[in-house]
Structure 1
Amino acid sequence: MKLSFILWLAQILPQPAADPLCLATTVYLEARDQSELGQRAVAEVALRRRDSGQWGESVCEVVTARKQFAPTIVHPGLRMKNLQAWERAVQVAFQAQQDWQLPAGERREVVPGASHFAALDLANPAWATAPRVATIGDHTFFRVQRLTPPAAPASVASHHLAP
């Protein structure tokens, strides 16, 4: 299935029904080659950004904010071929959203306070001097005190572009 189809489908689905699809797509594109913990951390960053309201009011708005996550950086014609990885990303997205509905003190947070992440072997964004929360697999997660607006440098690295 093509990324463009998934993004189109997310646009026509009503909210909040589209959010799990957008979150699963982001987990797949950003972290399909990572552990479940790493995938969960990516989902958590997107959910935390939604809660901040700076990148949008929904998960779909957050992950499609200009140059913030892979759905806006990867070519829309990308074919998402790995069905097993897609199924895992969907499970992680639904579990993360379900957990995120709990009160903040009851959530099982993987990267508490993290609002950004990067694969530092491939990218060195300006905000990478912020406090590090954790490194999980290829990603380092950061707590950026003053969240940057959507025009900030991309938080994803090109190694996630291969199917």
Structure 2
Amino acid sequence: MKRQEVIIFTTILIVSVTLISSIFIYNKNLKHKKEIVKLLQAQDISKKNTQQQYSLINEFKKYESNDENSKDFITELSNINDNNYSIDIENKQQYAYIEEDGSISVNSEDVMLLAKLINSEAGDEPFEGKIAVANVVLYRSKENKESIKDVIYAPSQFDGVQTKLFSDNPSNESFIAAREALNGKKVLDKAYYFANLKLCNPSWATEERFLCRIGDHWFFKQ
């Protein structure tokens, strides 16, 4: 085969492979977009399941207005300097996350970080949506065998970490949601991802992985 023929054959081959790849990627993206459209229509369970919603809201109000220990805890955490965590969480088991083997793996920094993440990612979400975000962090911590801090600061995982809200003091509701999740309260089980599909369409946001929608967050399993 002459050199010119080889060049022509190679060019045709490259163009063909590129064209086939483009068609495959286009069809894949088109399918994903159709899935996203369906997921956008998913019902918000915080509106559908009013009994659960009101139960959680009442629980929040109970802790906010009637539980003196909770109020003291929130006040104490609110007064902590970000670089000087001083609460001995291990001595307050009602605020600690107890592993299946009975060990306590949470310190005051973990509680603060979890509350900050909830505040930055779900500050405007319903109370159960705040707990659901915390559930994602704790599930990842368990599955990946990583600390809460490592999960929250993992590269390119939680956009809220890069926002001003993460630097601000969390709201009382965010603190309470963090506490409830660390004490075992679950809105979702096995949720590994969440996203606002009105703003983005990540590759893992598929019907197969979809669990439910709470407020403006869609939750997915791994």
Unaligned runs of at least 5 residues, structure 1 = 100-107, 145-163
- 1:126 corresponds to which residue? 203
Indicate which of 111, 121, 131 corresponds to 1:20.
111
Indicate which of 131, 140, 146 corresponds to 1:49.
140
Q: Give the AA of the match of 2:151.
A: V
User: Which secondary structure state, in structure 2, belongs to the residue aligned with residue 62 of structure 1?
Assistant: helix
1:125 deviation in Å?
0.7
1:74 deviation in Å?
2.1
Which structure features the higher share of helix residues? 2
Indicate which of 97, 102, 115 corresponds to 2:182.
97
Q: For residues 114 and 162 of structure 2, what CA distance do their matches in structure 1 show?
A: 15
Q: For residues 110 and 28 of structure 1, what CA distance do their matches in structure 2 show?
A: 17
Indicate which of 153, 162, 170 corresponds to 1:64.
153
1:79 deviation in Å?
5.6
Indicate which of 29, 32, 49 corresponds to 2:120.
29
Indicate which of 181, 190, 194 corresponds to 1:117.
194
Q: Does structure 2 retain, via aligned residues, the 8 Å contact 1:49–1:115?
A: yes
| TM-score normalised according to structure 1 size | 0.66
1:18 deviation in Å?
1.2
Q: Does structure 2 retain, via aligned residues, the 8 Å contact 1:64–1:71?
A: no
Counting aligned pairs with the same residue, the percent is 31
User: Which secondary structure state, in structure 2, belongs to the residue aligned with residue 128 of structure 1?
Assistant: coil
User: Which secondary structure state, in structure 2, belongs to the residue aligned with residue 127 of structure 1?
Assistant: coil
CA RMSD after TM alignment: 2.6
| TM-score normalised according to structure 2 size | 0.49
Q: For residues 107 and 160 of structure 2, what CA distance do their matches in structure 1 show?
A: 18
Higher radius of gyration, 1 or 2: 2
Q: Give the AA of the match of 2:161.
A: T
Unaligned runs of at least 5 residues, structure 2 = 1-80, 90-105
Q: For residues 71 and 127 of structure 1, what CA distance do their matches in structure 2 show?
A: 19
Q: For residues 72 and 87 of structure 1, what CA distance do their matches in structure 2 show?
A: 19
- 1:39 corresponds to which residue? 130
Q: Does structure 1 retain, via aligned residues, the 8 Å contact 2:210–2:218?
A: yes
1:30 deviation in Å?
0.4
Aligned length: 123
Q: 1:50 to 1:9 in 2, by over 3 A?
A: farther
Q: For residues 171 and 167 of structure 2, what CA distance do their matches in structure 1 show?
A: 12
